[in-house]
Structure 1
Amino acid sequence: MDTGRRAGEPLVRHTVSPHLTRLLIDAGTAAGLDRGQVMRLPGFDTLSVDPVRIPTATIMRTWEAVGGALMEVGGVARVMELWRPGTLGVWDYLFTAAGTLTDALRASGLHFAVIADPVDAIAVTRDGAGVTVSWDGPYRDHPSYPLIAEFVPSMFQTVASSGAGRPLTPVQVRLPHRAPLSHAALCELYGTRNVEFEAGAPSITFTEADAATPLPQSDPALAAILNDHARITVETARPVVSWLDRFHLALETAVGDGPPELARVAHRLAMGPRTLQRRLNEAGTSWREELERLRQRRVDQYLRETSLSVESIAARVGYSDPRALRRAIHRWYGHSPRTVRQNPD
C-alpha cells in the first residue's frame, strides 16, 4: 500500500476546493435543478473564488441538493460527462504528465487534498489482478454516501482514461452498498459487468497492462513541477470557514455518533453551552432549530432515496427512540413515514 501525509493537512482539514462542488452544481443544473435555489444554500457564496477552500459541509449539502435530480437522469454518469481536463484544477494534470497510470494514481492519491477533504484517504495497492485505487471517507452514515461511492470510481476512471488517451476498462469495481434491483446503468458507466456490492470501501481496479503502459504525454520534469504545484496549492489556500460552518460540521458529526448533546457540540467548538446558545441566537437561529433542520433534511432524503427502516433512520439521525422520529415525521409532513415514502413528490 502506498501511503503518505498529504501536504497542508493541519490547515485545511474539513475543507475542500470549490472545483468539485461547482461541477456537481453544473451537473444538477443540467439535470433540471434550479441553480439559483442551490446557490442560496448556506456556504455557497465563495464558490467563484479559486484560491479559497470551502467547508466540507458545503459539498455535502451539494450532494444532498443534486442527488435526486441526478438519479432521475442516469445517476453520477452525468457528472463526469461535464468534466474536461482542468475542471478539477491541477489534480487533473497529475494523470497527464506521470510516467505510467500507476505513477499517476499514486500522485493523485498523495495530493487528493487538492480537491477533497484531507480526512479522505486514498490507497493504491498492487497485486496479481492489477492496480487498485480505493477511497475511504468519513461519510458512511450520510444519506448521499451510496451516490458518492459510485461517483469516486467513475471520477478516477474518467480522468485516468483522459491521461491514457484511450478508454480504460477496469478489471473490477467494488461498492459498499447493497445492489439495486438493476445495476445495468452502473455496468454501462464503468464499462464492466464485474461490479461487486457490499464490498467495503469504493474501489476500482485497472489491469496490470494498463497500469504499466507509459502514458502518451509523460513528462518527468513537468510531473515534478505539477506535484510541487499541487502541494503549494493546498498549503497556500485560504480556508473560508466561519464559526457557523464549524458548528454545522460539529453538529453533523455529533448526529452521526448518536443523540447529540448541546454541551458536547459546544466542547468540540471550544466554547461553553451558554456561549454557543448566545452565538446561535445572534445568528438568528437556535440549537433546537438547527438540530431540527438537519434531522428533517436527512430524514427526507433517507425516506425518499433509500429503503432503510424507520429504526435505522432514527439511529442515523440521532434519535434514541424510533417513536420520537415517527412523531417528528408527523409534525413535519402530517403523514406517516410510509405515506411520505410512497409519495416522494
Structure 2
Amino acid sequence: MVNNATLATAGTVSPHLTRLLLRAGSAMGLDRSRLEGVAGLAVLGEDSVRIPTATILRVWELVSSPAWEAAGTSRVMRLWRPGALGVWDYLFSAAGTVGDALHAASRNFAAIADPADRLVLGRDDDGLTIAYHGSYQDHPQYGRIAELVPYMLLTVASAGAGRPLAPVRVRLPRRPAGPPDRLRELYRTGRVEFEGEHPSVTFAEADADDPLPRADPALAAILEEHARLSTAAARPVLGWLDRFHAALEPAIDGRPPSLDQVAQRLAMSHRTLQRRLREEGTTWREELERLRQRRVERLLRDSALSVESIAASVGFADSRSLRRAVHRWYGHGPAALRASGPS
C-alpha cells in the first residue's frame, strides 16, 4: 500500500547525491553554464528539500564525458565524507553489523533516492547481496548509475566497519567502458561480473555479521526514525506540471501510458487531470508527444540502441511509426539525428 509520504515524495530525490555529482563534474571540467535552467539547482544547498528526479538524471547527462568514464565513479566517492549523503550515511555507523546497516539503508533508501528505487537484500552461498532496483533502466546514463551505486554502498559500509571491505562479488548489468583493471581496483575484487538485471555487491558472511566498532542500538533506532521523519517532512521543489512530468516519465515502459494510469499516480481522476492540464495551457496528447520526442532524441544521440529497440521502449507500434514521428519533429530521419552526436 502506498502511504502519503511516498506519494508526496514521488518523482523526487534528496539533493545530497546531486551535489556530489556536480562537484565531481566541475573537478572534471563541466561547463557550469550548461546547468542554466535545470530545475531544482537553485535550492541545491538546502537539506530540507526534495528536487525532481529528472534533475539528477539531467545532471548525469551533463557530467558524462570520456574523463568521467575513466574516473567519474571514484571521483564522486572521493568527495564523500560521512554526512555528505545526510542521515542515511550515519545508519552505517550505529548499526550492530554491516548486515544490519544494509537492512536499515534499504528500509530508508528514500532518504536519498526516488521512492520508486529500492535496495533489495538476499543471502546465498557467497554471502549477503544488496542489489539496486532502479526505476530508470532505459535511461542512457543508467550504466553509469549502476556502476556508482555498488561502489557507494561499498564505501559507506567500509566507513561504518572502520576498515576497507573487499566484496566477494560485484555484478553490473553491462560492461562499462574502460579497461577491466579499472573495475577490479574500484571494487577491490577480481569478481566483477556482467550478468543479471540489477547491479549488486555481495559481502562475505564474516564481514556482514562482524560487529561494528561503534554499534549503538539506541542511536541506530533514533537515526532510522530521523531518516523517516526528515524524508516525510522534506519540501518537494515541484510545481504541479513538474509533478505530472515525474509521474508520466516512468509510465512509458514499452507501451503507450494511459491517462488513467498517470492520474492514479497523481491521486486524482482522469477528468481532473485533463482539467489541470488545460489550466496549464497544454493537453495530454501534447505532453505525451513532448516526452516521447525528448526520450527518442536522447536515445538516438546517446545510445547505440537500434531504431527498432527505441521504438519499442518508447511505446511506438513499430519502427515506421517512430521514423514518421522523427520526420514530423525534425524534418529528417533518425539517422541524421543520430549522426549529429551526443546531446
TM-score where L is the length of structure 2:
0.85
> Does the 8 Å contact 1:70/1:76 carry over to 2?
no
Cα gap change, 1:39/1:70 in structure 2, threshold over 3 Å: closer, same or farther?
Answer: farther
Separation in structure 2 between the aligned mates of residue 338 and residue 317 of structure 1, nearest angstrom: 17
1:316 to 313, 316, 325: 313
> Does the 8 Å contact 1:64/1:301 carry over to 2?
no
> Does the 8 Å contact 1:259/1:320 carry over to 2?
no
Deviates more, 1:85-94 or 1:218-227: 218-227
Within the alignment, does 1:255 sit opposite 2:252 as a pair? yes
Separation in structure 2 between the aligned mates of residue 308 and residue 80 of structure 1, nearest angstrom: 30
> Does the 8 Å contact 1:6/1:110 carry over to 2?
no
Please report how far the alpha carbon of residue 44 of structure 1 lies from its aligned counterpart in structure 2 after TM superposition.
3.0
Q: 1:35 — aligned with what?
A: 32
> Does the 8 Å contact 1:95/1:101 carry over to 2?
yes
Q: 1:97 — aligned with what?
A: 94
Cα gap change, 1:334/1:169 in structure 2, threshold over 3 Å: closer, same or farther?
Answer: farther
Letter of the structure 1 residue corresponding to residue 307 of structure 2 = V
> Does the 8 Å contact 2:170/2:191 carry over to 1?
yes
Separation in structure 1 between the aligned mates of residue 109 and residue 16 of structure 2, nearest angstrom: 13
Within the alignment, does 1:153 sit opposite 2:145 as a pair? no
Q: 1:218 — aligned with what?
A: 215
Long gaps (5+) in structure 1? none
Separation in structure 1 between the aligned mates of residue 97 and residue 165 of structure 2, nearest angstrom: 13
Separation in structure 1 between the aligned mates of residue 262 and residue 194 of structure 2, nearest angstrom: 35
- Number of residues of Structure 1 aligned to a counterpart in Structure 2: 339
Please report how far the alpha carbon of residue 244 of structure 1 lies from its aligned counterpart in structure 2 after TM superposition.
0.9
Within the alignment, does 1:275 sit opposite 2:272 as a pair? no
Match of 2:129, SS state, is strand
> Residues 194-240 of structure 1, C-alpha deviation per residue, up to 9 Å, x if partnerless?
11213122110011222222223333333232222222212322333
> Residues 75-124 of structure 1, C-alpha deviation per residue, up to 9 Å, x if partnerless?
42332222111110111111112222111111111111111122222222
> Residues 20-65 of structure 1, C-alpha deviation per residue, up to 9 Å, x if partnerless?
1222222222222222432521343332221122232332332233
Within the alignment, does 1:307 sit opposite 2:304 as a pair? yes
Separation in structure 1 between the aligned mates of residue 4 and residue 248 of structure 2, nearest angstrom: 27
Separation in structure 1 between the aligned mates of residue 36 and residue 19 of structure 2, nearest angstrom: 10
Q: 2:189 — aligned with what?
A: 192
Match of 1:125, SS state, is strand
Correspondence list, 1:1-345, <5 A? 8-68=5-65, 71-177=68-174, 182-260=179-257, 265=262, 269=266, 270=268, 271-272=270-271, 275-281=275-281, 290-291=287-288, 293-329=290-326, 337-338=334-335, 340-341=337-338, 344=341
Separation in structure 2 between the aligned mates of residue 63 and residue 235 of structure 1, nearest angstrom: 26
Please report how far the alpha carbon of residue 129 of structure 1 lies from its aligned counterpart in structure 2 after TM superposition.
1.4
Separation in structure 2 between the aligned mates of residue 259 and residue 235 of structure 1, nearest angstrom: 32
- The share of aligned pairs that are identical, in percent, is 57
Match of 1:54, SS state, is strand
Long gaps (5+) in structure 2? none
Cα gap change, 1:46/1:244 in structure 2, threshold over 3 Å: closer, same or farther?
Answer: farther
Separation in structure 1 between the aligned mates of residue 289 and residue 178 of structure 2, nearest angstrom: 33
Cα gap change, 1:181/1:216 in structure 2, threshold over 3 Å: closer, same or farther?
Answer: closer
Cα gap change, 1:245/1:321 in structure 2, threshold over 3 Å: closer, same or farther?
Answer: same
Match of 1:259, SS state, is coil
Separation in structure 2 between the aligned mates of residue 161 and residue 74 of structure 1, nearest angstrom: 20
| RMSD over aligned Cα atoms | 3.1
Separation in structure 1 between the aligned mates of residue 71 and residue 322 of structure 2, nearest angstrom: 31
> Does the 8 Å contact 2:106/2:120 carry over to 1?
yes
Match of 1:131, SS state, is strand
Separation in structure 2 between the aligned mates of residue 24 and residue 166 of structure 1, nearest angstrom: 25
